[in-house]
Protein backbone atom coordinates (compact mmCIF):
# COMPACT_ATOMS: atom_id res chain seq x y z
CA UNK A 1 0.00 0.00 0.00
CA UNK A 2 1.32 3.48 -0.79
CA UNK A 3 1.55 6.39 1.63
CA UNK A 4 -1.82 7.88 0.68
CA UNK A 5 -4.68 7.51 3.15
CA UNK A 6 -7.18 5.42 1.24
CA UNK A 7 -10.69 4.63 2.43
CA UNK A 8 -12.43 1.45 1.32
CA UNK A 9 -16.19 1.52 0.77
CA UNK A 10 -18.55 -1.39 0.21
CA UNK A 11 -21.63 -0.07 -1.58
CA UNK A 12 -24.48 -2.04 -0.05
CA UNK A 13 -27.62 0.05 -0.28
CA UNK A 14 -29.41 -1.58 -3.17
CA UNK A 15 -32.86 -3.10 -2.93
CA UNK A 16 -31.72 -6.48 -4.36
CA UNK A 17 -34.96 -6.87 -6.32
CA UNK A 18 -33.44 -9.49 -8.66
CA UNK A 19 -32.04 -11.44 -5.71
CA UNK A 20 -35.32 -11.42 -3.78
CA UNK A 21 -33.77 -10.83 -0.34
CA UNK A 22 -30.87 -8.97 1.28
CA UNK A 23 -28.08 -10.29 -0.91
CA UNK A 24 -25.38 -8.63 1.17
CA UNK A 25 -26.25 -11.09 3.93
CA UNK A 26 -26.46 -14.12 1.63
CA UNK A 27 -23.96 -16.79 2.59
CA UNK A 28 -21.38 -18.35 0.33
CA UNK A 29 -20.38 -22.01 0.63
CA UNK A 30 -17.79 -21.14 3.31
CA UNK A 31 -20.56 -19.73 5.54
CA UNK A 32 -19.40 -16.10 5.26
CA UNK A 33 -21.71 -13.44 3.85
CA UNK A 34 -21.18 -11.65 0.56
CA UNK A 35 -20.61 -8.40 2.42
CA UNK A 36 -17.96 -10.08 4.59
CA UNK A 37 -16.15 -11.26 1.46
CA UNK A 38 -16.36 -7.81 -0.16
CA UNK A 39 -15.00 -6.17 2.99
CA UNK A 40 -12.18 -8.70 3.32
CA UNK A 41 -11.20 -8.18 -0.33
CA UNK A 42 -10.82 -4.41 0.11
CA UNK A 43 -9.20 -4.45 3.55
CA UNK A 44 -5.58 -5.16 2.52
CA UNK A 45 -5.57 -2.12 0.22
CA UNK A 46 -7.02 0.56 2.51
CA UNK A 47 -6.69 2.14 5.94
CA UNK A 48 -10.25 1.18 6.90
CA UNK A 49 -13.45 -0.06 5.25
CA UNK A 50 -16.89 1.51 5.64
CA UNK A 51 -20.25 0.13 4.60
CA UNK A 52 -22.50 2.49 2.68
CA UNK A 53 -26.28 2.42 2.53
CA UNK A 54 -26.82 -0.05 5.37
CA UNK A 55 -27.79 0.18 9.00
CA UNK A 56 -24.61 0.54 11.03
CA UNK A 57 -22.78 2.12 8.11
CA UNK A 58 -22.77 5.47 6.34
CA UNK A 59 -26.27 6.46 5.18
CA UNK A 60 -26.68 7.22 1.49
CA UNK A 61 -26.21 10.89 0.77
CA UNK A 62 -28.13 13.12 0.32
CA UNK A 63 -31.03 10.63 0.62
CA UNK A 64 -31.78 6.91 0.36
CA UNK A 65 -32.68 5.16 -2.89
CA UNK A 66 -30.21 7.01 -5.12
CA UNK A 67 -28.56 3.79 -6.20
CA UNK A 68 -24.80 3.39 -6.00
CA UNK A 69 -24.23 7.15 -6.27
CA UNK A 70 -25.88 7.72 -2.88
CA UNK A 71 -23.41 5.33 -1.26
CA UNK A 72 -20.47 6.69 -3.21
CA UNK A 73 -21.42 10.22 -2.21
CA UNK A 74 -21.52 9.21 1.46
CA UNK A 75 -18.08 7.61 1.16
CA UNK A 76 -16.57 10.59 -0.68
CA UNK A 77 -17.91 13.09 1.85
CA UNK A 78 -16.62 10.92 4.73
CA UNK A 79 -13.23 10.61 3.02
CA UNK A 80 -12.96 14.35 2.45
CA UNK A 81 -14.03 15.18 6.01
CA UNK A 82 -11.62 12.66 7.52
CA UNK A 83 -8.56 13.55 5.43
CA UNK A 84 -8.45 10.53 3.13
CA UNK A 85 -6.91 10.93 -0.32
CA UNK A 86 -9.62 8.92 -1.98
CA UNK A 87 -11.90 5.91 -1.92
CA UNK A 88 -11.62 2.42 -3.39
CA UNK A 89 -15.09 0.95 -3.89
CA UNK A 90 -16.68 -2.39 -4.46
CA UNK A 91 -20.25 -3.62 -4.44
CA UNK A 92 -21.55 -5.95 -1.74
CA UNK A 93 -22.31 -8.42 -4.53
CA UNK A 94 -18.66 -8.60 -5.60
CA UNK A 95 -17.18 -11.29 -3.34
CA UNK A 96 -13.71 -11.18 -4.91
CA UNK A 97 -11.45 -8.14 -5.24
CA UNK A 98 -8.49 -8.49 -7.64
CA UNK A 99 -5.18 -8.03 -5.81
CA UNK A 100 -3.57 -6.00 -8.61
CA UNK A 101 -6.56 -3.73 -9.20
CA UNK A 102 -5.69 -0.83 -6.83
CA UNK A 103 -2.32 -0.31 -8.53
CA UNK A 104 -4.11 0.06 -11.86
CA UNK A 105 -6.95 2.27 -10.57
CA UNK A 106 -5.24 4.72 -8.23
CA UNK A 107 -3.87 7.70 -10.08
CA UNK A 108 -5.04 10.99 -11.50
CA UNK A 109 -8.80 11.33 -11.50
CA UNK A 110 -11.43 8.67 -11.05
CA UNK A 111 -11.10 5.23 -12.59
CA UNK A 112 -13.23 2.08 -12.86
CA UNK A 113 -12.60 -1.47 -13.94
CA UNK A 114 -13.98 -2.09 -17.42
CA UNK A 115 -17.44 -3.65 -17.13
CA UNK A 116 -17.54 -3.23 -13.33
CA UNK A 117 -18.31 0.41 -12.59
CA UNK A 118 -18.57 -0.20 -8.82
CA UNK A 119 -14.94 -1.35 -8.68
CA UNK A 120 -13.43 2.09 -8.73
CA UNK A 121 -11.06 4.73 -7.44
CA UNK A 122 -12.56 8.09 -6.50
CA UNK A 123 -10.42 11.03 -5.32
CA UNK A 124 -11.98 12.59 -2.22
CA UNK A 125 -11.91 16.01 -3.87
CA UNK A 126 -14.81 14.79 -6.08
CA UNK A 127 -17.23 15.01 -3.12
CA UNK A 128 -18.53 18.54 -3.92
CA UNK A 129 -18.88 17.64 -7.61
CA UNK A 130 -20.98 14.58 -6.76
CA UNK A 131 -23.09 16.69 -4.38
CA UNK A 132 -23.76 19.06 -7.29
CA UNK A 133 -24.49 16.21 -9.70
CA UNK A 134 -27.05 14.67 -7.34
CA UNK A 135 -28.69 18.06 -6.73
CA UNK A 136 -29.29 18.57 -10.46
CA UNK A 137 -32.19 17.26 -12.50
CA UNK A 138 -30.67 14.19 -14.15
CA UNK A 139 -31.23 10.43 -14.14
CA UNK A 140 -28.57 9.92 -11.46
CA UNK A 141 -27.12 6.91 -13.25
CA UNK A 142 -23.58 5.93 -12.50
CA UNK A 143 -22.89 6.09 -16.25
CA UNK A 144 -23.90 9.76 -16.34
CA UNK A 145 -21.59 10.46 -13.40
CA UNK A 146 -18.69 8.63 -15.07
CA UNK A 147 -19.19 10.67 -18.24
CA UNK A 148 -19.38 13.92 -16.27
CA UNK A 149 -16.04 13.36 -14.54
CA UNK A 150 -14.34 11.67 -17.52
CA UNK A 151 -13.41 8.61 -15.48
CA UNK A 152 -10.63 6.42 -16.80
CA UNK A 153 -11.52 2.82 -17.67
CA UNK A 154 -8.96 0.21 -16.65
CA UNK A 155 -8.86 -3.12 -18.42
CA UNK A 156 -7.53 -6.34 -16.91
CA UNK A 157 -7.75 -8.77 -19.87
CA UNK A 158 -8.71 -12.30 -18.92
CA UNK A 159 -10.10 -11.29 -15.53
CA UNK A 160 -13.56 -12.71 -14.94
CA UNK A 161 -15.30 -11.63 -11.75
CA UNK A 162 -18.57 -13.04 -10.47
CA UNK A 163 -21.31 -10.52 -9.80
CA UNK A 164 -24.09 -11.93 -7.66
CA UNK A 165 -27.46 -10.58 -8.81
CA UNK A 166 -29.71 -13.64 -8.46
CA UNK A 167 -29.77 -16.65 -6.13
CA UNK A 168 -28.68 -18.86 -9.01
CA UNK A 169 -25.53 -16.69 -9.45
CA UNK A 170 -24.61 -17.46 -5.84
CA UNK A 171 -25.40 -21.15 -6.26
CA UNK A 172 -23.23 -21.34 -9.39
CA UNK A 173 -20.32 -19.79 -7.54
> For 117-134, how does the pLDDT look when each residue is reduced to its tens digit (9 = 90+)?
999 999 999 999 999 999
Per-residue pLDDT band at 14 (split at 50, 70, 90): low
pLDDT reported for residue 93:
86
123 sits in which H/E element: strand 116-123
Q: pLDDT tens across 95-117, in order?
A: 889 999 999 999 999 999 999 99
Q: What b/e string do you get for 87-113 counting C-beta neighbours within 10 Å, with b at 16 or more?
A: bbbbbbbbbbbbeebbeebbeeebbbb
Kindly state the average pLDDT of the residues 76-87: 97
Domains in the chain (CATH in brackets) are: 6-172 (3.90.550.10)
pTM: 0.89
Query: Given a cut of 90, is residue 160 above it in pLDDT?
Result: no
CA nearest neighbour of 124 among 74, 53, 65 = 74
β-pairing, 152-154 vs 6-11, is unpaired
Query: Given a cut of 70, is residue 28 above it in pLDDT?
Result: yes
CA dist., res. 150 & res. 9, Å (int): 21
Query: Given a cut of 90, is residue 39 above it in pLDDT?
Result: yes
Amino acid sequence: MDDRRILGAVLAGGRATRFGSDKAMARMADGRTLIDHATAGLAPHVVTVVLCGREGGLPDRPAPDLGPLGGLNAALRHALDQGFTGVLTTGCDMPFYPTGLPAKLIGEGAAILKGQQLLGWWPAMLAPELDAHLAEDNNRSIHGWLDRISARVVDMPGLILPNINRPEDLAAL
